[in-house]
């Protein structure tokens, strides 16, 4: 947009929606384009790749119901440029549907497209049933009382999220002193955006590597596989709107090059929207 | 075996090894056969299906390293009879390898094979690094002090596991009284068997549906997707041998037809061998 913008100008497209633009090709084939807005150190933010895999399923004409589970495997770095998403309904039942998804990209040096990402998605037509929460939101100060954190690194994707730490952020000094791996923070898209399933999937990957906190050492680390279970349906997402989510993440085990992370995302009203897990490579 | 058995008779094949027999066909194609030994109510025990998907990858001539992550999606019931497992290396890197797996079966009424199960597997050549535990094993009495539980249902697969409840087993009465969803039990294969990766994957699905305990109601329920993160390498599995594992499982949220389960499996020495999650369908 230019300085000529007036109040009648339609609102700019949100960077997340811009990043999730997929052009339809052959059935189940979509072409996307990496965007600088979510760039991480050597590729797009992993949460965006997760959102992209899910978005391809959601835009497929044969899709049934709403997302219940998403597993994304980050098989190789995505490089700058176009990529293809292939979404295939592997099995459709009466009220559930199982999808397999691949992201493919031609290597920088040219040649046949190779798989950079694999994913599976479970969709379901959900019905209202007895429901119960077994993981109450921790008692924390509201977002307005938690100061905005500056981005911890000069990478683009960190500008796409408003983060208001509650506890357990990065250690003040990289001195190798061990501590717990628990982080809690309020977070939402920046600029604010009404929550939908791809945005929620992307938010599930917001936490910095647990090992950085646990060891107070910035060792190389990267998520290799990530699973999101969606407890929220679209109605609860609509009620959540563009409000803040409380994210809580901790590791369970660090061993020989891989650690796991288990995390929860509640809305401000205390409803658990998603639980998520990942396994993360680390060095040293 | 017959009554003629003598001490020189080679030991019988363990039912798990019998269930995991896969005949090699075209590259990456394996044919298996369901077995009554692990039969559940309307199909094989889900943990066995998870073990089968993993076993196919482990027997592939191109496999690299050891399992780090396994996600299995139970797309449709497997019926009695033969099935085909297709294991494909989607991406091989220097020290990691990503696999996609499908189980296919022809419907009882005949016709083309259909997908009953999808899975992804992450393999890696692990190196010794700094390691740390963030989820110590709960303090519980040793297996010998915990009484063997009789099978809670007359299904075959429950005979394949020795279970010694510590706390949180099924409610004494199905009276709809709500309680927590936490279960802890000592468990191992029956008969005892040296632990390997497929056996560990199968053990990760041992817990009865959390909702049965949470609500003291035996509503219909079944796992739809399950993820296992392997923290143990083969050396730690060898050290664990045929000893008992402590399993701990709880739900985080029950909502509109699906609940999640998060679980940990330690060996008797307190090493965390695997963490696992699943999303489970329930009715009512």
* Pairwise CA distance, residues A262 & A249, whole Å: 6
Longest dimension (CA), chain A: 57
Q: Which residue in chain B has the smallest CA separation from A273?
A: B253
Looking at the domain covering A143-282, what would its CATH class be? Answer: mainly beta
Q: What are the pLDDT digits (tens) for B213-238?
A: 999 999 999 999 999 999 999 999 99
CB A221 within 8 A of CB A267: no
**Is residue A202 within a helix (H) or strand (E), and if so which, with residue range?**
helix A197-203
The count of other CB atoms within 10 Å of the CB of residue A53 is 26
Distance from the B213 Cα atom to the nearest Cα atom in chain A, whole angstroms? 12
The least confident of A170-179, A274-283, B184-193 is: A170-179
Query: Among all residues of chain B, which has the CA nearest to that of A266?
Result: B253
| Residue among A166, A85, A73, A76 at smallest CA distance from A119 | A73
A39 DSSP assignment: B
Report the residue of chain A nearest B77, measured CA to CA: A93
Give the A window 24-83 contacts with B, CB below 8 Å.
Answer: 68-69, 71, 73, 75-76
Q: Cβ B127–A258 below 8 Å, yes or no?
A: no
Residue A180 near chain B (CB below 8 Å): yes
pTM of the model: 0.96
What was the pLDDT predicted at A8? Answer: 57
> Looking at CA atoms only, how far is residue B1 from chain A in angstroms?
41
Domains B15-124 and B143-282 share a fold: yes
* pLDDT at residue B73, rounded to an integer: 98
Of the candidates B68, B118, B227, the beta carbon closest to that of A227 is on B227
Minimal Cα–Cα distance from A135 to chain B, Å?
5
| B138-145, Cβ contacts within 8 angstroms, sequence gap of 24 or more | B138/B184, B138/B246, B138/B248, B140/B166, B140/B167, B140/B184, B140/B186, B140/B246, B141/B166, B142/B268, B143/B186, B143/B244, B143/B268
For A227, the closest of B90, B100, B277 (CB atoms) is B277
User: What value does the mean pLDDT take over residues A65-93?
Assistant: 97
Q: What's the mean pLDDT when you consider all of chain B?
A: 95
B chain contacts of residue A232, beta-carbon cutoff 8 Å:
255
Q: A209 preceded by cis ω (within 30°)? A: no
Torsion sign (Cα): B103, A51, A89, B252: positive
ipTM of the complex model: 0.95
Residue in chain A closest to B180 (alpha carbons) equals A134
Q: What are the DSSP calls for chain B, one per residue?
A: --TT--TTSPPPPPHHHHHT--EE-STTEEEEE--GGGB-SSSB-HHHHHHHHHHHHHTSTT--SEEEEEEEEE-SPPPSSEEEEEEEEEEE-SSEEEEEEEEEE--TT-SS-EEEEEEEEEEE-------EESSPPP----GGGSPPPPPSSS-GGGGGEEEEEEE----SS-S-------EEEEEEESS-----HHHHHHHTT-SPPHHHHHHS----EEEEEEEEEE---HHHHHHHTT--EEEEEEEEEEETTEEEEEEEEEETTS-EEEEEEEEEEE--
Answer yes or no: are the C-beta atoms of B135 and A252 closer than 8 Å. Answer: yes
Residues 96-125 of B with CB under 8 A from A: 96, 98, 100, 102, 114-116, 118-120, 122, 124
Does A42 score more than 70 pLDDT? yes
Where do the structural domains in chain B lie, given as residue ranges? Answer: 15-124, 143-282
Contact A134 B180 (CB under 8 A): yes
Q: Chain B residue with minimal CA distance to A128?
A: B256
A contact residues 201-230, partner B, Cβ 8 Å cutoff: 214-215, 224-225, 227, 229
Tell me, what's the pLDDT at A284? Answer: 83
User: Which among B129, B138, B182, B228 is the top mutation candidate for probing chain A, defined by the most A β-carbons within 10 Å of its own β-carbon?
Assistant: B129
List of chain A residues whose C-beta atoms are within 8 Å of the C-beta of residue B87: none
The torsion of the CA quartet B101, B244, B152, B160, rounded to 10 degrees, works out to 50
Instruction: Give the separation between CA B115 and CA B72, rounded to whole angstroms.
Output: 12
With 0-12 / 13-18 / 19 or more C-beta atoms within 10 angstroms meaning exposed / middle / buried, residue A269 is exposed
C-beta atoms of A122 and B215 within 8 A: no
Contact flag A120-B284 (C-beta cutoff 8 Å): no
Residues in B touching A216 (Cβ below 8 Å): none
Distance of alpha carbon A73 from alpha carbon A239, whole angstroms: 30
Q: Which residues of chain B have pLDDT under 50?
A: 1-6
Contact predicate B273/A253, CB 8 Å: no
Considering the domain delimited by A15-124, tell me its CATH architecture.
Beta Barrel (2.40)
Q: 3-class SS at A24?
A: strand
- Do residues A184 and A138 make contact, with C-beta atoms less than 8 angstroms apart? yes
Out of B91, B118, B253, closest to residue A134 by CB: B253
DSSP letter at A13 equals P
Q: Is A135 in CB contact (< 8 Å) with chain B?
A: yes
Closest Cα in chain A, distance from residue B193 (Å):
25
Q: Give the one of A75, A93, A130 whose C-beta lies nearest to B76's C-beta.
A: A93
Residues A175-225: pLDDT tens digits?
999 999 999 999 999 999 999 999 999 999 999 999 999 999 999 999 999
Rounded average pLDDT over A117-146? 97
* B282 contacts A254? CB cut-off 8 A: no
B232, burial (CB in 10 Å: exposed 0-12, middle 13-18, buried 19+): buried
Size of interface A-B (CB pairs under 8 A): 208
B277 vs A: CB within 8 A: yes
Q: Tell me, what's the pLDDT at B153?
A: 83
Residue numbers in B near A275 (CB within 8 A) = 252-253, 260, 262, 277
Lowest mean pLDDT among A30-34, A100-104, A108-112, B132-136: A108-112
> C-alpha angle with apex B150: B145 to B152, nearest 5 degrees?
130
Question: Distance between CA atoms of A280 and B39, rounded to whole angstroms?
Answer: 35
Chain A environment of B73 (Cβ under 8 Å): 69, 98, 120, 122
Q: Do A124 and B257 touch (CB under 8 A)?
A: yes
Tell which wins on pLDDT, A108 or A6: A108
Element (H or E) spanning A237, and its range?
Answer: helix A234-240
Q: What is the pLDDT of residues A223-243, one digit of tens each?
A: 999 999 999 999 999 999 999
Cβ separation B126–A275 shorter than 8 A: no
Q: Which residues of B251-284 are buried (b: 16+ CB within 10 A; e: fewer)?
A: bbbbbbbbbbbbbbbbbbeebbbbbbbbbbbbee
Min CA distance, A231 vs chain B (Å)? 6
């Amino acid at each position: 947009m230019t300085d000529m913008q007036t109040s009648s100008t339609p609102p700019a497209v949100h960077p997340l929606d811009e990043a999730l633009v997929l052009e339809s090709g052959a059935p189940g084939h979509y072409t996307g384009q990496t965007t600088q807005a979510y760039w991480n150190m050597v590729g797009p933010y992993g949460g965006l790749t997760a959102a992209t895999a899910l978005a391809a399923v959601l835009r497929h004409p044969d899709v049934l119901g709403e997302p219940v589970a998403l597993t994304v495997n980050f098989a190789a770095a995505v490089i700058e440029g176009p990529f293809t998403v292939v979404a295939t309904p592997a099995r459709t039942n009466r009220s559930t549907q199982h999808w397999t998804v691949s992201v493919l990209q031609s290597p920088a040096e040219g040649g046949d497209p190779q798989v950079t990402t694999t994913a599976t998605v479970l969709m379901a037509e959900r019905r209202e049933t007895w429901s119960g929460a077994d993981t109450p939101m921790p008692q924390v100060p509201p977002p307005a009382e938690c100061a905005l954190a500056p981005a911890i690194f000069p990478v683009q994707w960190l500008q796409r999220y408003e983060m208001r730490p509650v506890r357990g952020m990065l250690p003040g000094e990289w001195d190798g002193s061990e501590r717990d791996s628990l982080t809690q923070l309020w977070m939402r898209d920046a600029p604010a955006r009404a929550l939908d399933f791809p945005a929620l999937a992307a938010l599930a990957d917001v936490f910095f590597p647990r090992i950085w906190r646990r060891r107070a050492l910035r060792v190389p680390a990267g998520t290799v596989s990530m699973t999101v279970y969606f407890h929220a349906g679209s109605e609860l997402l609509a009620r959540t709107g563009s409000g803040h989510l409380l994210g809580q993440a901790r590791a369970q085990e660090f061993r020989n090059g891989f650690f796991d992370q288990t995390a929860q995302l509640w809305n401000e009203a205390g409803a658990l929207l998603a639980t998520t897990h990942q396994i993360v490579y680390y060095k040293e």
